Every structure is written in structure tokens, then in C-alpha cells.
């Protein structure tokens, strides 16, 4: 049995990221079957952008690469990785939506990608698709993720907690009003 490598240098990580970016599925299979423990996927990222192999494959529409890499992991790890954000807060789904890769988006969503995660610009993947005129992606999101509020649901209740600024301001205004009325009564 081959002892698979569990830690990688940044150069090794960059090589794997590159293979994912260009969609070289055969090379990735060889790497993860012969040399590298698949669990290392959880830590592989670009040292500057924090992009993962999933980000790179998704950005370029390599749905089979995404599928293969995510299937190497447990369900929870795959969901964590598919929602991992880079330095701009973008997930692999943001990039796939931005570039209009519907098949890749479907794969990512099968592994739990969250289309409502926002990047540092407060954009979610749905917004990226809309902003970049990707109607097929928009249609998929609208059909898959119903964002309408149920008419039978009550409106959200506002929570009020003793000691909040609003309560203090209200009490202080009542005290001031009481003092003002007392002064006016004394002047009469």
C-alpha cells in the first residue's frame, strides 16, 4: 500500500490548483489515487487569493473535476469546501454563476453550495448571475431555491430587550417631560 502524502508544500498545492483550473481530471485522479491523501483537499488553497481547486474548476466550468474532487470527501467536508470563501468572499458557486456554468452550478448545489452566501461586496451567487446576464443560471436558481415568503407566515416580531438604547431614550424623554410639566405647574 502506498503511503499517501498528508501535508503539501505551497508549490505542490499550486500544482493541484493548476490542474483543477485547466480541468485535467486524469492528472488529478492520479495525484489523489497514488500520491496525495484526498483529505488534504481541505487545506489546499492559493496562498494569496485563498482560492481552492474547487474555485478554479468551477470558474472554468469543469463540472466533472468538481464532482470528482468533492466525492473524495465526506458529505460534511464536501459541503464545507464547496462553501469556502476566498479573499474576496467568493465561493466556487459565485465564480460558476458569474461565468454562466449551469452544469457546474448543479454539481456544486448537489454538494450543498449555498447560493445566498455573500462576498465582501454583499453579492450572492444569484446576484452575480443576474449582473452578468446569465439567464440560464438565474432560471436554475429561481426554480431550485424558492425565496418567496409564505403568505401564511406571520411577520417577524421585533425583539425588545430591557436595557436597550431605545428603551433608555424613551424613559429619559418621559422623565424630562415630567420635569418640564412640574416646572410649568410651579410657574403658574
Give dist(CA 64, CA 54) in Å, integer.
Answer: 11
Give 5's strand partners.
36
As a CATH number, domain 10-154 is 1.25.40.20
Q: Is the whole model's pTM more than 0.85, yes or no? A: no
108 pLDDT more than 60: yes
> Which whole-number Å values give the CA distances from 64 to 79, 103, 104, 158, in the listed order?
17, 9, 8, 46
* In the chain, domain spans: 10-154
Asked if 93 and 139 touch (Cβ cutoff 8 Å), the reply is no
Nearest to 63, CA basis, from 102, 114, 6: 102
Per-residue pLDDT at 181: 67
Query: Please, which pLDDT band fits residue 156 given cuts at 50, 70 and 90?
Result: very low
2 pLDDT more than 50: no
Instruction: Name the percent of the chain lying above pLDDT 90.
Output: 71
Instruction: Name the percent of the chain lying above pLDDT 70.
Output: 74
Residue 64 has a CB neighbour count (10 Å cut-off) of 15
Amino acid at each position: 500500500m502506498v503511503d499517501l502524502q498528508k501535508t503539501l508544500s505551497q508549490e505542490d498545492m499550486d500544482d493541484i490548483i493548476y490542474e483543477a483550473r485547466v480541468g485535467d481530471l486524469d492528472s488529478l485522479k492520479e495525484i489523489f489515487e497514488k500520491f496525495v491523501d484526498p483529505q488534504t483537499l481541505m487545506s489546499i488553497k492559493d496562498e494569496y487569493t485563498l482560492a481552492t481547486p474547487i474555485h478554479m474548476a468551477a470558474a472554468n466550468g469543469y463540472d466533472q473535476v468538481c464532482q470528482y474532487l468533492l466525492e473524495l470527501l465526506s458529505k460534511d467536508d464536501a459541503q464545507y469546501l464547496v462553501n469556502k470563501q476566498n479573499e474576496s468572499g467568493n465561493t466556487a458557486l459565485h465564480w460558476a454563476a458569474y461565468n454562466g456554468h449551469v452544469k457546474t452550478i448543479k454539481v456544486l448545489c448537489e454538494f450543498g453550495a449555498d447560493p445566498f452566501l455573500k462576498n465582501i461586496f454583499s453579492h450572492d451567487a444569484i446576484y452575480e448571475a443576474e449582473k452578468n446576464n446569465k439567464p440560464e443560471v438565474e432560471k436554475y436558481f429561481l426554480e431550485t431555491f424558492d425565496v418567496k415568503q409564505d403568505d401564511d407566515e406571520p411577520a417577524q416580531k421585533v425583539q425588545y430587550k430591557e436595557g436597550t438604547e431605545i428603551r433608555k431614550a424613551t424613559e429619559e424623554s418621559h422623565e424630562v417631560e415630567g420635569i418640564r410639566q412640574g416646572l410649568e405647574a410651579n410657574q403658574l
